[in-house]
Amino acid sequence: MRRLFWVAVGAAAGVYAVRKVQKTLHAYSPGGLAERATGVGASWQAFTDEVRRNAAEREAQLREALGMEPADPAAPLSPAEAADLTEHPASSAARPRTTRSRST
């Protein structure tokens, strides 16, 4: 009975060791490295998408708090407006399309 127990323990340890070695070999094979690189790329893409979404959400909150109209990507600034905004960022004339009168 004791010998049978130790044979079973040895067989289980051998199977575990073989599976562990096979898994490690696969992880460092070209296919395994490609799978890991794909996973990292997908994780990075998800991270950047979340950062962009949160940045846009925060920008909308700040524009609302400052009483500005939402940015309209369909109507970009003209080169003259962009130059004036770059030279005088705090002037009210540099932001004619982004401010609105608040009735509060």
What is the mean pLDDT for each group of 10 consecutive residues in the chain (104 residues)? Answer: 92 96 91 84 91 91 80 71 80 52 46
pTM for the model: 0.41
Give the whole-angstrom CA distance, residue 14 versus residue 5. Answer: 14
67-73 contact pairs (CB < 8 A, 24+):
67/99, 67/100, 67/102, 68/95, 68/98, 68/99, 68/100, 69/97, 69/98, 69/99, 69/100, 71/98, 72/97
